[in-house]
Structure 1
Amino acid sequence: MLDYFLMFLAVLALLSIVFEEVTHINKAKTTLFLGCLAWMLLFINAGTEQPRINHHLEENLLEIAILWLFLMSTMTFVAYLNAQGVIQAAIQKIFPAKIGQRKLMLAIAGFALLLSSFCDNVTATLVSLALLQSFNLPLDTRIKTAVLVIFSVNSGGVALITGDVTTLMIFLDGHVQITQLLLLFVPAFISVAVLAVLLSLGVQGEVTTEQTKHQFSRLEIIISLIFIGTIGATMALNILYGVPPVLTFLTGLSTMFLVGRLLNKDTERPAMLDYIRRIEYDTLLFFLGILLLVGMLKEIGVLNMLADAYAQYDPSMSSYFAGVGSALVDNVPLTAALLKAQPDLSVAQWLALTYAVGVGGSLLVIGSAAGIIAMSKMSELTFMSYLKYAPALLVAYTLGYLITMWLSNSLIAVTG
């Protein structure tokens, strides 16, 4: 009976996000409350299982803490670069002062796709959204482009182990090789291009950016280089020595603070530590609530039930619907449950599963870290405004999945 009530709380949390515009209650508050309540009920009814429940809660909180610290580090960098106008100035040097809205949507999608292939989804989303918000786009076009950014970021991460955690998990489990994963960039690129075309239908007109002369200070240049260097070091150290990304980013952040203290002699400018206060803590609290609820679902065996259901059907269909399911359940524990179930899959089927769990979360705005960040950064992007584009997202996801199956089967058959 308790398990059913806990699942009801998870559904209630989802409804609170869906109807946020009606209730006017911040989703961070409702998800955090329901996530904490769910775990408290688990403890109250634990009996002799209390030590096990406590251990699993500590594991859940450790995962959340790592994500929190990583988000805090990345968002502080972006907050500084935004406040100083560095991102806006860099964009003005890359993009023309006047550009067609359709071309801009395609350019931003391509930028997000490439960036997310080489760095984490959080950084790629924040930088891509900063790029989007630097243009004075109409509301409808701005929402469409944000939807495109989320899908592009999730798509770009599937082809390299540096881009998506689930891709890395499947690779480390020995099911695919790096050269085989590179095949996924083809369906990722095609599906993003198709979605960009679908969303840009009817979009007309040009958009301009305010051209301002920005004289880069020595401090701004150095911190920009620290940020870029931190992204590169995160990938290199993780691949070569297994250094957790959060540790590298915290090192980069502390370097930023030290450099700022040494070079920032102007007492009228804010101290570097002040930029931590400028990040969106609503985003962090929302993550906390969502991941507590996902941890609860894992604790009561819902994810294992999904893994058992996966094994009962044809892997090609199961992987497709596993991707759809990742729009409701965090793809990391879902992938972990599937790996634990040890399904008997061919390399082509493992590649299809990798694409599905990496991209499927894009179908709903709450289905991926990119979507949650975007929803928290853009007040106009809500569950319902995103849901409006679910048909186009489903078409792009399905097309990408089918291309993945065809391409991987064809090439693996040729190479033996």
Structure 2
Amino acid sequence: MFDFLLIGIAILALAGVVFEELIHVNKAKTTLFLGTLAWILLFIQSPMGQRNAVNEALEHNITEISTLWLFLVAAMTFVAYLNRKGLIENMLNLLMPAKISLKKLLFSTALFSFCFSSLADNITATLVSVALVLSLGLPLHQTLRFAVLVVFAVNSGGVSLITGDVTTLMIFLQGKVTITELLTLIAPSFAAVLLLASLLSIGLKGTVKIKQTHHETRPVDYVIAGTFLLTIVLTLLGNVFFGIPPMLSFLSGMAVMFLVATFMGEEKYEDPILDYIRLIEFDTLLFFLGVLLLVGMLQHIEALDALLLVYQWFPPALANLLMGVVSAAIDNVPLTAALLKADITMSTPQWLALTYAVGVGGSLLVIGSAAGIVTMSKVKGLTFATYGKYSLLLLLAYCAGYGMVLLTSPLLL
């Protein structure tokens, strides 16, 4: 009975996010309160002999959260600096013509987000892609289309590489798929992104003038931009060859940025480099904290294990499709962990289908992925409800991509 109370708290937290605009309470406040309350109730209800197990579960949960937090702080600080200095807008001026149709711009955004997320992690790719979209100064209804496309494209771009998505890495480490087999996901993933871009471009007319405002930059700005790119590359290489956590690499890169700014005289411009940490969205970080506390609690009471019954009721192809939909409401990392622990017997094409499903399925809801949460924090006017207006288009693109994985992977393997 007590477990149902905790599950009810998690559902209440989700409702708080969904109805944020109606209750006028920031989602970070509701999720943080209910996330901490759930763990406090766990300690109170647990007998004396079981509290050590609860404490160990909480410490494990906090360790995972702090790893994400520190990574986000470093990535957001880099992007905050580059955005404030105008380097992102300068890059946009170099890449884009002075005038372009909105449809071409939409497809260009899809291509950029997809490719960049294949090179960088999803959070960094989202931050950069959203910054580029916001710099265009489009009306809100057009900005929302671009934002929705960015979330889907970023999640799709990283699903075929072990460095691009955590769940992909987890499935790879369990020996379910190989690196070369994962590469077969690129074509279906990109085709699904193009399909969504085509659907979103319907009714999109007119052209947009790309602001050609040139921001004055100093050598230190380019050195820090280079440090950012080098940090991304070294993060990927360090993780693949030496198992270095991305969080550690990005914190090191941020430290280098601080030192570069100091030794190159940035401090003399009365623009302390450490102040850029204050420019990041701490409400986003608090929202992450609350959500992951709730997910950790659900994992501890083994509420997520009930999802495994889906594989007893349905064939793997349909069950995997449903798991992708579920991952839009439940963090895909513990969901994937639960599926791997259950040791479900599936063929390689079916494991590839699951990899695509849990990697891209989170795009169906704005709270279903880190890319969605980061985008929601950056784009004013993007809420659970406004994002939900595009749910049908997202579901069509997701199902189309999933279907293409099922069709192509047996032929290519």
Q: TM (normalized to structure 1)?
A: 0.98
In 1: Cα distance, 2:266 partner to 2:78 partner: 20
SS at match of 1:365: coil
1:335 aligned counterpart, secondary structure:
helix
Cα 1:265/1:241, change in 2 over 3 Å: closer
| 1:411 aligned partner | 412
Partners of 2:261 and 2:267 within 8 A in 1:
no
1:364 paired residue number: 365
Aligned residue in 2 for 1:16: 16
Find out whether 1:400 has 2:387 as its counterpart. Answer: no
Deviation at 1:305, TM superposition (A): 1.3
Q: C-alpha distance in 1, partners of 2:215/2:362?
A: 38
Q: 1:210, CA displacement in angstroms?
A: 2.3
CA–CA separation in structure 1 for the residues paired with 2:39 and 2:267: 48
Q: Deviations over 1:310-352 (max 9, x none)?
A: 3442111110000000000000000000000011110000000
SS of 1:161's partner is: coil
Partner of 2:7: 7
Distance in structure 1 (CA, Å) of the matches to 2:267 and 2:164: 38
Once the two structures are superposed, residues 65-102 of structure 1 have per-residue CA deviations (whole angstroms, 9 ceiling, x without a partner) of 00000000000000000000011111111111211111
Number of the residue aligned with 2:29? 29
The offset of 1:138, in angstroms, is: 1.7
- Is 1:79 matched up with 2:80? yes
Shift of 1:303: 1.2
Q: Is the 8 A contact 1:326 1:357 kept in 2?
A: yes
The CA distance in 2 between the partners of 1:106 and 1:176, in whole Å, is 31
2: CA distance between counterparts of 1:247 and 1:403?
37
- Given that 2:184 and 2:412 are in contact with CA atoms closer than 8 Å, whether structure 1 keeps it comes out as no
Name structure 1 gaps, 5 residues minimum. none
Structure 1 SS opposite 2:100: strand
Structure 1 residues 333 and 206: alpha-carbon distance in aligned structure 2, compared to 1, 3 A threshold = same
* Whole-Å separation in 1 of the counterparts to 2:229 and 2:266: 24
Structure 2 match to 1:251: 252
Give the conservation status (yes or no) of the 8 Å contact 2:266–2:272.
Answer: no
Q: Do 1:310 and 1:322's aligned partners in 2 also have CA atoms closer than 8 Å?
A: no
Shift in alpha-carbon separation, 1:273–1:409, aligned structure 2, 3 A: same
**Does structure 1 conserve the Cα–Cα contact (< 8 Å) formed by 2:96 and 2:210?**
no
Alpha carbons 1:136, 1:208 under 8 Å: kept: no
Higher mean alpha-carbon deviation, 374-383 vs 208-217, is at 208-217
One-letter amino acid of the counterpart of residue 235, structure 1 = L
Residue type at the aligned position of 1:224: A
Matches within 5 A, 1:118-157: 118-157=119-158
| Preserved contact between residue 190 and residue 400 of structure 1 (Cα < 8 Å) | yes
Quick check: 1:308–1:341 contact (8 Å CA) kept in 2? no
> Which AA in structure 2 matches 1:405?
L
- Name the CA shift for 1:376/1:265 in 2 (closer, same or farther; >3 Å): closer
For 1:92, the aligned partner's letter is N
Matching residue's letter, 2:345: D
How far off its partner does 1:177 sit? 0.9
CA shift for structure 1 position 150: 0.2
CA contact (8 A) 1:311 1:343 kept: no
Q: CA deviation at 1:209?
A: 2.5
Superposed displacement of residue 266, structure 1? 5.3
Stretch of structure 1 that moved more, 210-219 or 63-72: 210-219
Pairing 1:349–2:350 present: yes
Q: Which residue of 2 aligns with 1:267?
A: 268
Q: Give the Cα separation in 1 of the matches to 2:311 and 2:68.
A: 28
- Secondary structure at the aligned position of 1:267 is classed as helix
Letter in 2 for 1:333: P
Say if 1:3 and 1:266 are closer, same or farther in 2 by CA, change over 3 A: closer
Structure 2 gaps of 5+ residues are none
Contact 1:166 1:357 in 2 (8 A): yes
* Count of aligned pairs between the two proteins: 412
Question: Alpha carbon RMSD of aligned pairs, Å?
Answer: 1.0
Aligned-partner residue type, residue 188 of structure 1: S
Provide the residue aligned with 1:181 in structure 2: 182
Equivalence map 1:47-196=2 (5 Å): 47=47, 48-196=49-197
Question: Secondary structure at 1:99's aligned position in 2?
Answer: strand
Q: Deviation per CA, 1:216-241, whole angstroms, max 9, x where unpaired?
A: 31100100000000000000010011
Normalised by the length of structure 2, the TM-score is 0.98
Q: Deviations over 1:97-151 (max 9, x none)?
A: 2111111111111101011112110000000001101102121110011000000
> For the residues of structure 2 that align with 1:359 and 1:213, how far apart are their CA atoms?
36
Counterpart CA distance in 2 for 1:255 and 1:311 is: 51
Question: Aligned pair in 2 of structure 1 residues 220, 192: CA closer, same or farther (>3 Å)?
Answer: same
What's the secondary structure of 2:89's corresponding residue?
Answer: helix
Q: What CA distance in whole angstroms lies between the structure 2 residues aligned with 1:375 and 1:178?
A: 32
What code does the residue aligned with 2:30 have? T
Matched ranges for 1:289-304 at <5 A: 289-304=290-305
- Taking the aligned partners of 2:202 and 2:50, their CA distance within structure 1 comes to 56
Task: Assess if the C-alpha contact under 8 Å between 1:327 and 1:361 holds in 2.
Answer: yes
- Aligned residues of 2:106 and 2:146 also touching (Cα < 8 A): yes
Name the amino acid aligned to 1:317.
L
How far is the alpha carbon of 1:376 from its aligned partner?
1.1
In structure 1, give the amino acid aligned to 2:116.
L
Aligned equivalents of 2:216, 2:85: Cα separation in 1? 11
**Secondary structure of the corresponding residue to residue 159 of structure 2:** helix
Equivalent AA in structure 2 for residue 200 of structure 1: S
